[in-house]
Amino acid sequence: LGGTRFDGAEVREYIRWEITHPSVAARTLGLLRDAAAGKPVPPFPTFVPTDNELASYLAIVCGDTRWPTDPAVYRADSRRDSVRYPLYGDSVSNIFPCAYWDRPVEPATKIDNKVPALIVQNAWDSQTPLAAALGLRRALKGSRLVTVDEGQGHGVYALGISACADDVATRYLTTGRLPARDVTCRADPLPEADSRSASPGPAAAPARHPFAGS
């Protein structure tokens, strides 16, 4: 890929961060298809999260629970999940910075309250599925759920997914008021791909990658 040799594990690790949005996934899989066919392809773009984004992500994930500290646990999990989830199970089950993180300083927060939160969710999200958002809606009894019907990708707000959902979220952020009931919004039409290429061009990709798992 762009003169760099990738083995299977490296390809799967890269794909993990590139399938959060359909247009980016289409471009990435198109490059992989061409490379596998022996065609020259440009270097893969590198997504490097900002320091604050990565630090806050790790602080949240590592602080949610106490992670195993024995590398053998991750080795066993990786071997098991490489069979159970062959696309990238061994990648996401491998050892993680949380194995070396300090123990959480606070107990996990029990989510069963009436916090007036707004939950915004795509119907089709490869990272956090709709079923999880529905469960969170039930647990946060004072919340409201905005579902983007036929919405695709990980992340909704300000990503060009649905102007309707953006309007509801902006109103909540600027006034603190929830809608009277749960809301279903339509997804905006996807931009048409360039007819000369099977993969969408860079303009079809989101302005930034929502950090997977955040």
- Report if residue 78 sits inside a domain: yes
Tell me which residue range forms the domain holding 128: 118-189+198-204
- Check whether 160 has a pLDDT greater than 60: yes
Per residue in 133-159, pLDDT (tens digit) is 999 999 999 999 999 999 999 999 999
Q: Dihedral of CA 87/89/90/96: which sign?
A: positive
Give me the pLDDT at residue 181, please.
97
> Based on the structure, what is the number of domains in the chain?
2
- Do 84 and 137 belong to one domain? no
- Report if residue 12 sits inside a domain: no
Residue ranges with strand state E in 39-182: 118-124, 144-152
Q: How confident is the model at residue 46 (pLDDT cuts 50, 70, 90)?
A: low
Domain boundary pick from 37, 65, 100: 100
- Report if residue 4 sits inside a domain: no
- Report if residue 19 sits inside a domain: no
Domain boundary pick from 40, 74, 100: 100
- Report if residue 132 sits inside a domain: yes
- Report if residue 23 sits inside a domain: no
- Report if residue 108 sits inside a domain: no
Domain boundary pick from 70, 100, 130: 100
Q: What is the pTM of this model?
A: 0.70
Contact predicate 128/156, CB 8 Å: no
Buried b (16+ CB within 10 A) or exposed e, 157-185: bebbbbebbbebbeebeeeeebeeeebeb
